[in-house]
């Protein structure tokens, strides 16, 4: 029997999720229909879409911009959140657990899984994240769980980085135990093993102020599908670099596995997705 899945967003026509999930399904030889679901940008409409979908027998939903926080609040009210979603304050994956809609967040673990698949060491790594918005918030717990040695969060607006650390430490004992430094982006200097760009600057014409004394072995930009000056800068200085396309595939694989119980061969699936 065909299992139904959707990705809910606004806008949604650009979403690559249907193609990615159909590729996973073909690999697992299961029959799924994965569709884009447009939703008006308000909470009542989002909840109506989710309820109609699951009441109609839907198997699972992804949630994208601008609904990740609304999905979080909806699941939180029912006490039905994974730890990663609770700490991230955002939900990208919905399913039915018990009698209620359950929210998970696979974005941060997707990033960690991609970095591991690149062969980049995370255990004992000195890591810096640039950015203090939703994207940064979602990756802190999975990175700490992966065994990093130290974490610095740098942001254009220092107070936002400080507030983020305070909130994350209050939300998770694992994070509270990790000393996290903060600074402005321009002040970020020294030697790191991994620097992650979690800002949305790649969507603009601006470039980050990167100190000349800032060095890293590995640089990762969570954006993809466009020229990324952040990566070009560190590639020129001899670092290994990656954009966030693999994070997209890995977060999707985690959602797919949680819905279907089928393991995804990500390397094989990525080869089958040449046009993305
Ligand atoms: P997201 O959910 O994608 O993380 P967000 O919550 O709006 O989006 O956060 C955007 C992040 O990108 C913030 O860290 C923001 O820095 P500020 O907190 O100082 O606003 C960062 N950002 C966006 N545009 C930037 C720019 N031109 N220069 C530096 N940082 C920028």
pLDDT tens column, 128-174: 999 999 999 999 999 999 999 999 999 999 999 999 999 999 999 99
What is d(CA 144, CA 71) in angstroms, rounded to the nearest whole number?
A: 25
- Assess whether 97 and 120 both reside in one domain: no
What per-residue confidence (pLDDT) applies to 236? Answer: 98
- Assess whether 115 and 236 both reside in one domain: yes
Q: What is the band of 60 on the pLDDT scale with cuts at 50, 70, 90?
A: very high
Mean pLDDT over 212-235 rounds to 97
Give pTM, 2 decimals: 0.96
What per-residue confidence (pLDDT) applies to 124? Answer: 98
pLDDT > 70? residue 257? yes
Measure 156 CA to ligand 1 centroid, in angstroms.
8
pLDDT > 80? residue 275? no
Backbone angles phi, psi at 266, to 5 degrees: -70, -40
Q: What is the CATH number of the domain that holds 209?
A: 3.40.50.720
- Assess whether 175 and 260 both reside in one domain: no
Active site residues: 68
Does 182 sit in the ligand 1 pocket, CB within 6 Å?
no
- Assess whether 34 and 93 both reside in one domain: yes
What is d(CA 125, CA 128) in angstroms, rounded to the nearest whole number?
A: 10
pLDDT > 80? residue 25? yes
- Assess whether 182 and 127 both reside in one domain: yes
Q: What is the band of 276 on the pLDDT scale with cuts at 50, 70, 90?
A: low
Measure 132 CA to ligand 1 centroid, in angstroms.
7
What per-residue confidence (pLDDT) applies to 274? Answer: 67
Does 160 sit in the ligand 1 pocket, CB within 6 Å?
yes
β-bridge partners, 100:
97
What per-residue confidence (pLDDT) applies to 158? Answer: 98
Digit-coded pLDDT (tens) for 175-204: 999 999 999 999 999 999 999 999 999 999
- Assess whether 122 and 195 both reside in one domain: yes
DSSP-assigned letter for residue 156: S
- Assess whether 57 and 120 both reside in one domain: no
Mean pLDDT over 17-45 rounds to 98
Measure 98 CA to ligand 1 centroid, in angstroms.
37
- Assess whether 114 and 159 both reside in one domain: yes
Mutate to test the pocket of ligand 1, among 183, 199, 224, 247 (most ligand atoms within 8 A of CB): 199
Q: How many CB atoms lie within 10 A of CB 269?
A: 19
**Total domains, the chain:** 2
pLDDT > 70? residue 273? yes
- Assess whether 119 and 231 both reside in one domain: yes
Q: Which domain holds residue 156?
A: 109-243
- Assess whether 93 and 19 both reside in one domain: yes
β-bridge partners, 131:
none
Does 134 sit in the ligand 1 pocket, CB within 6 Å?
yes
- Assess whether 94 and 167 both reside in one domain: no
Q: Which atom of ligand 1 is nearest to the CA of 137?
A: 4
Q: What is the CATH number of the domain that holds 26?
A: 3.40.50.10860
Does 92 sit in the ligand 1 pocket, CB within 6 Å?
no
- Assess whether 79 and 134 both reside in one domain: no
Angle at 164 between CA 158 and CA 165, to 5 degrees: 95
């Amino acid at each position: 029997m065909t299992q139904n899945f959707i990705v809910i967003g606004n806008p949604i026509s650009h979403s690559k999720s249907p193609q990615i999930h159909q590729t996973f399904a073909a690999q697992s030889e299961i029959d799924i229909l994965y569709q884009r679901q447009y939703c008006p940008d308000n909470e009542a409409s989002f909840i109506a879409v989710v309820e109609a979908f699951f009441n109609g027998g839907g198997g699972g939903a992804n949630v994208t911009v601008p609904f990740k926080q609304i999905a979080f609040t909806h699941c939180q009210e029912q006490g039905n959140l994974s730890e990663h979603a609770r700490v991230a304050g955002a939900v990208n994956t919905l399913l039915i657990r018990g009698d209620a809609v359950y929210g998970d967040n696979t974005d941060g673990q997707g990033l960690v899984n991609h970095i591991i698949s690149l062969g980049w060491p995370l255990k004992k790594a000195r890591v810096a994240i640039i950015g203090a918005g939703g994207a940064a918030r979602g990756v802190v717990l999975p990175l700490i769980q992966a065994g990093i040695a130290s974490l610095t969060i740098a942001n254009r607006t220092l107070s936002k980085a400080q507030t983020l650390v305070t909130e994350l430490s209050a939300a998770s004992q694992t994070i509270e135990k990790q000393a996290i430094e903060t600074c402005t982006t321009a002040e970020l200097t020294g030697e790191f093993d991994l620097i992650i760009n979690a800002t949305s600057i790649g969507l603009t014409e601006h470039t980050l102020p990167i100190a000349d004394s800032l060095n890293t072995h590995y640089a990762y930009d969570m954006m993809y599908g466009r020229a990324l000056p952040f990566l070009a800068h560190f590639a020129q200085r001899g670092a290994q670099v990656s954009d966030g396309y693999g994070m997209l595939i890995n977060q999707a694989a985690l959602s797919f596995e949680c819905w279907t119980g089928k393991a995804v061969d990500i390397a094989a699936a990525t080869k089958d997705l040449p046009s993305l």
